[in-house]
Amino acid sequence: MAGKLYDEISGFVPYTQEEAAARNTLLSLIETHGDRMLDRDCEVGHITCSGFILSPDLAETLMAYHLIYGSVGWTGGHADGDADLSGVAMREASEETSVTQIHLLSRRILSIDILPVPPHEKHGKPVASHLHYNVTYGLIAPKNQKIADKPDENRNVMWLKTQDMKIYVTEPQMLPIYEKLVERMRAICEEKAEIPQKMLRPLLEWYPSHKRDLPWRRDRNPYHVWVSEIMLQQTRVEAVRGYYKRFLDALPDIAALAECPEDTLLKLWEGLGYYNRVRNMQKAARQIMEQHGGVFPQSYEEIRALAGIGDYTAGAISSICFSLPTPAVDGNVLRLMARLQEDFRNILSPQFKADVTAQLAQVYPQADPGMLTQALMEMGATVCVPNGAPHCEDCPLAAMCMARKMKSAALLPVREKKTTRRTEERTVFVLSCNGKIAIRKRPPNGLLASLWELPNTEGFLDVQEAVSFCENWGTKPQEFLKTVKRRHIFTHVTWEMQGVFIRCAAESPEFVWAQPQELAEIYSLPTAFRCVLGE
């Protein structure tokens, strides 16, 4: 893990001499202390990860009043052994503000700062002064979502206009850091915005000599393009070749499709699946015969109004067949743009598709826009591929690709299907014996696979039931100490936890019995269980 951590920090390109010194100091400490730098008990200080959150228009920032520092500030927290620093920044931002819709602006580290932390109390325990080697990432969160305080750490979570930060931030050393982060996030957004225009020339120069020889590209007959586009939905190109020829041999024009008996039509489609596609094609053919005199309509709006034709197919036919500057945005194009602009938003969201379409509409050429449509399709299908690593060495856009530069292409695109987060109730046991705490390994599969955990079971147990569990484990419970309530939120499940503290007389072989300091130094307890311990 230390190698991964070193690579992440060494990838930071300093903006100033001060930041270069901070990076080099941190790299030196990682060389000496390794992964211990991720542990809050490391004697020389430790790595923390902050997320500076801006609204999508970059005009406002989401901050909170932090009880420890007595000032409004950013979100962030301890890595606690996790070398996925950007992931830690995301997690902390969500936990401290309750926002659930949040994404990285880029995996680019925005700043590395060495920050002194004054003595303070946390959960009633004194914490000595120490250093935070803080790594910061830029985050974007829409404003139309619920925000809430994390009562034991902050209050007054709120959106502030970036120009008003100076009114609320009372730590003088932090305001310049926040201001430089805003400036850098804006610069990244400007870099992203320039890509659609910059990619046109190399893409259009690449396409003619790299395109595949596909039968539906040999003319610009709208009927032929339409048939191919419908067939290619949810179907591989090689599988479509034979069907395409057989279909056109049997139904050479719109009139033939409109008049075809359904049994014959479905037989021609047999094996392609998703039969509503061809049924809608016939409905559309009949629309063309009845409403357009058998002539394929030539405006985007009229094409889009045909049965079974969506935005993408209408854009493809309009641009390829009628030279209209109408983008055709499908999964291939969305994936390509997500990587070129290192966009970590959900590719399945309507907003993402709308934004990509709007960006392309601004740059679509008036002359032969169909070539751009097909070049984008070809890039997504053969170079910036959906399964496996993209073929960056063959890409004419590699020099401008932000994901390639940040080595994040494998993480993109992000696909987040809407899921309902379920809630589970759990009783978590804090069993102590001779000053040691009982822990055990989780199963090798599933949530928190193979990590250490406090013993736990589903449901909330009363005192007698909890004591009975301990007796069955052979721990010889002596004294019931207390219970605590905790909550931990995972991606797909929320744990509502009742922590049960029991002093025992026997170190049962059911568990590993660890000294408290060993929980930090040797055994890595996930945050879900640390919070039950009060950490």
Mind telling me the catalytic residues? Answer: 229
Instruction: Determine contact, residues 164/141, Cβ cutoff 8 Å.
Output: no
Neighbour-count burial for 115-129, b at 16+ CB within 10 Å, e otherwise: bebeeeeeeeeeeee
Instruction: Determine contact, residues 48/89, Cβ cutoff 8 Å.
Output: no
Nearest to 92 by CA among 154, 45, 46: 154
Read off the DSSP letter of residue 446.
S
Pairing of strands 512-514, 436-441: antiparallel
Give the pair of three-digit tokens for residue 121: 């109390």
Instruction: Determine contact, residues 514/436, Cβ cutoff 8 Å.
Output: yes
Q: How far is CA 15 from CA 29, 86, 97, 106, 183, in A?
A: 21, 19, 29, 16, 12
C-alpha of 459 from chain center: 31
For residue 63, the SS3 value is strand
Torsion over CA: 336, 339, 345, 347 (sign): positive
Instruction: Determine contact, residues 154/72, Cβ cutoff 8 Å.
Output: no
Kindly state the greatest CA–CA separation across the chain. Answer: 91
* Distance in angstroms (rounded) separating the CA atoms of residues 225 and 308: 14
Nearest to 115 by CA among 80, 86, 156, 78: 78
Q: How far is CA 158 from CA 21, 58, 63, 332, in A?
A: 33, 15, 6, 38
Instruction: Determine contact, residues 360/315, Cβ cutoff 8 Å.
Output: no
Q: Where are the alpha helices (DSSP H) in 118-273?
A: 165-168, 175-210, 222-232, 237-250, 254-259, 262-269
C-alpha of 395 from chain center: 24
Kindly report the backbone phi and psi dihedral angles of residue 387, in degrees, each rounded to the nearest multiple of 5, phi listed first.
-120, 120
